[in-house]
Amino acid sequence: MGGGSYDRDVYRSSKSSGGFSFSDDSASAVGSDYADSALMPKGRHIECTHKNPVVIDLDVTGSMGNWARTIYDKMPMFFGQIVQQNYLPDLSISFAANGDANGDDCPIQVCDFAEGTALDADLAKIWLEGGGGGGARETYELMAYYYAHFCKIPEDSAPYFFFLADEGAYEEVKTNHVSALFGKSIKQNVSTKKVFTALKKKFKGNVFLIHKHYSGDANSSTNKRIVAQWEDLLGSDHVLIMQDPKAVVDVMLGAIAMTSGSRDLAGYLVDMKNRGQDAKRISEVSETLSAVGTALVKVDTTDQLPDEPGANRKTKTKRL
């Protein structure tokens, strides 16, 4: 199942090799001090040889704060829970890093598909450039274009693609960007809507945005415009809005568990309880995941959670 166990039993200090950097308050580490040529997309095609591919695209611009490091810290749990709970058999993960091709030195970084502890080596290669564009946009459409056209996955797979981002995409994929970054010549710009349609087709509709409020303000007109654009591109039930990066991996796990059919929402929340998550985290994840699908049961987490997925308890149904 996707490369076996995955655990970190050795604390990496900031002096360790591999270009790691650290947040001050945890043992999380991710990121190189330079752009790694192995992650440059130009002239590269990647392929998943396992049955079920998962792509996680991290926005590594300055406004995303510590999200990349937090994802690193939680990645053993993400991989391990998918395997142990059988949410998705035989998975492989490709990490990617997103910036803005209108100004950043390294706007697209792509890792090959990998499993288990090999994922740490991939994360260590990613450069957290910390740049970004203006106008509350980054070139997410270029990442969508890359995986739509330069990534091969099994036809009978159950693939998933997660964007972790706080800003909107540009309206078009530019010919000069495709040539410079991917080494491909196209005759005219391609609409972002068309590119995301192709990506959703390849990934069988399982393309999600984990959205961090732009500038931390959920009610700003800019944040509302960003959310509306992503909802137009992906559908409102695939735009998962949250602010705490520590809950991101819980939400991705839940989205996979629920859409793969291995759990309903109530059953997944029981899994969270059983792995030691507190009531506040469970409530936050429940609220976010209630947007997944067209007719889901939202569990009232003010009561004690059931010990088993089928146990009786108060629920309310929310149709979206």
- Does 117 reside within a domain? yes
CB atoms within 10 A of CB 298: 18
Identify the sign of the CA torsion 257, 218, 100, 118.
negative
Tell me 179's DSSP state.
H
What pLDDT is stored for residue 70 in this prediction?
A: 85
> Residue 209: beta bridge partners?
163, 239
pLDDT along the chain (320 residues), means of 10: 48 29 38 84 97 95 84 86 94 96 95 93 89 89 98 96 97 98 97 98 96 92 97 96 92 95 95 95 94 48 42 34
CATH number for 213:
3.40.50.410
pTM (two decimals): 0.84
Query: Which of 239, 260, 281 is the last residue before a domain boundary?
Result: 260
Measured CA to CA, the distance from residue 48 to residue 112 in angstroms comes to 8
- Does 1 reside within a domain? no
- Does 178 reside within a domain? yes
SS3 (DSSP) at 57: strand
Query: Which of 213, 240, 260 is the last residue before a domain boundary?
Result: 260
Query: Are 130 and 143 contained in the same domain?
Result: yes
What pLDDT is stored for residue 299 in this prediction?
A: 38
Query: Are 317 and 244 contained in the same domain?
Result: no
Query: Which of 238, 260, 282 is the last residue before a domain boundary?
Result: 260
Structural domain count of the chain: 2
What pLDDT is stored for residue 63 in this prediction?
A: 85
What pLDDT is stored for residue 71 in this prediction?
A: 80
Residue 102 token pair: 């209108």
Query: Are 183 and 303 contained in the same domain?
Result: no
| Domain carrying residue 277 | 263-320
